Structure 1
Amino acid sequence: MALPFFGKKPTSAEPLGGAVERAHAADGVPPPTELSGLDFSATDHGRGLARAAGLVEVQEVGSGIGAAFEEAAVLYANGNDGEALALLEAMVDGEHAEVGEGVWLMLLDLYRLAGNKQGFESRVLDYATRFERSPPPWVDLSAAGGRARSGLPPLINLTGQLTAQAAKQFQQVAALGRRRGAVRLDVGRVRGVDDAGCGVWRRLLGELAADRVKVTLLNVEPLAEVLGKRLVVGKAQERDTWLMLLELLQYADDQARFENLAVDYAVTFEESPPSWECRSATAALREAPTPAPATTEPDGFCFEGELSGTSSDTLKRLAGFAADRRQVRIDCARLRRIDFVCAGTLFNILATLQAQGKLVSLVNVNAMVAALLRVMSVDQVAHVTLRQ
């Protein structure tokens, strides 16, 4: 089928890019990197956009930026991530391949969008060497990574017996905590423990504290009761069990019992006990400052997640939002994908806004989405800036 949303470009208003460049020049600030300033050239011109788009016929695009680049952009837009990745890797790995920086940024962003840190890190040195500039930093832009960043720290349920045999599992807990910066441990189902296991446990907490990893313990009271039954005042044995119980009481916010146990510990081991420090999750919430209310730029609008179809509610809201504004800034930092049809609808809306003399900018756009926007000529009716 033919998509009728590619009419002639509006000519009644000055292109947005020129106006933005003049504004930056007036302020003495260099303009941001634009999508149109990147080189997407490639030696492979034998591929066609029609093959990627299936039965969709594209009219009046005429970008002249290379069929392989266009194909990768549309493959990703259509949800064919694996094929898009294979094509981009073939482009940069091809013998005597001369591909521009735009293609490399697409590949690096596709790794980030897939949460593929290993693939990303395998390419950044080549990018830096080829273009003599720092590569974009690693950020997990995958859907799972986005949920992880916006939600609570990972929750791990500990069950069964806590013995020295748990050392390997605890190392996995430590690795997860370091990767995420915080971890929650539910110890309510631990049914047995020995002194060696308490030693492993305390080393884990010590390592995470040294690495500034936030640890939250949940349901500690049952385990504290189990440990308390093992202790004998005046019998200098199972020191790690004593110290672990003192730790648990701090997480339980039970200062009275902690102080009594600390006295017994000093008598039994003839050494000073640890100092009291409340570590409970509820206390942390009480002490946390009240966050300031989020502020929204008066001319700001956000694209998030994945936009698809001609009836996208987000695009409808954009049209209404821009109705009474001279300048519109659309933050795309949390936009992962926009499909072929939705990009066409976006072009129509932005072309209308440009014809009305409005200045529209899309900022923090990932390279895969930005590539499609160029294929669809969206960068001709709005100012498109890539994210770092």
Structure 2
Amino acid sequence: MVRAFQPHPDLEEAAILFAHGDLEGARTRLLEQLVQSLSATPRDEDKVCRLWHAMLDWCRATGDEDTFEPLAIDYAEHFGRSAPLWSSLPARLGQTALAGAVRKDPGKRQFLWSSPALLTVGAVTALRASQEDAPQPWCMSWLRLVAIDDAALLPLTRLCTAWADSEGQFVLSDAGKLLQLLEQQTPVGESHRPAAWWLLRMAVLRLVHRMDAYEQVALDYCVTYEVSPPSWVEPACHCIVQEEGEADVSVLHEASLQSVQAGAVLPQEGAAPGAMPVGQGLAGVIEGDAQPWLDALGAQARRGQVLEISCANLIRLDFVAAGSVLNWAAEMQNHGHELRFTQLHQLVAAFFHIIGIHEHATVQAVAA
């Protein structure tokens, strides 16, 4: 039986920071959480082990042997067993150790986000973090959305409100999936349901400039909870909405189009030096469009056989690359293929879960 990776919630923030190139930020967060876990009473040894292993994986992924050695010695003393062996992923690929922040100019690629089936707090955090550093227009697809975790309602409401208050340009494809879900979760007169769903629905309607619908929902909210609803405030953002299918970004102002065209990623740009698509797996630092890698992998797929994708040499993917992998995995699943991503280090494996790749493929991490 294949054992799938189950991420610890405390890895999410560090995984997001790492994916977006803030290597020092991820390191700091992991060390803070490790120290807090070691000091906790009672101590959760499973949590300590997961965080410690993630920190060791961070060292190997970045090639930081100086930090790895004392951590490995302390690990062995604490758990009474050998620590994972030292191995530098950059060195395997003929590269030097990574600097504290390895980030491409965000103006070089277009922002494309695809909602996972279950939208969690981690997914909202990842969306916000990636969108903040990306160029406009910000394109989002809601095609795969099925449910929103209750804990994600408030963060998503705040994010939609901030977007509406900004002067940003948003492009929403298959937005009907989001609007229908919110409508289903806000039946009039059922005050036992969380009001957070109503507040999110009004925030989304404001984002997409639907004042009439907002006013009706606000009235229904008032009737249901017998409290005054938030007043309509004219949004400052520009938003293109397509309820079914992909929105046409070409209707944006010409200046926006030039920004998008400047962001087009050349096929080879997603691969780090020393790591190019070869068909067996994913490797190096993959930023932007991961399609060259996925095309090479897809050529190996056979129906009825599990396609194992080795990630033993994968250092990190950014949000855009992970989105490409998510879309590809979903498409492969729809065509009857079974995928298995193997030998991921803890931070990338956790990021795969945040993005939603585990919903369409088995994700396996290197054992602690």
TM range (shorter): 0.3 to 0.5
Q: TM-score, normalised by structure 2?
A: 0.42
Please give the TM-score of this superposition, normalised by the length of structure 1. 0.40
Point out the structure with max Rg over C-alpha.
1
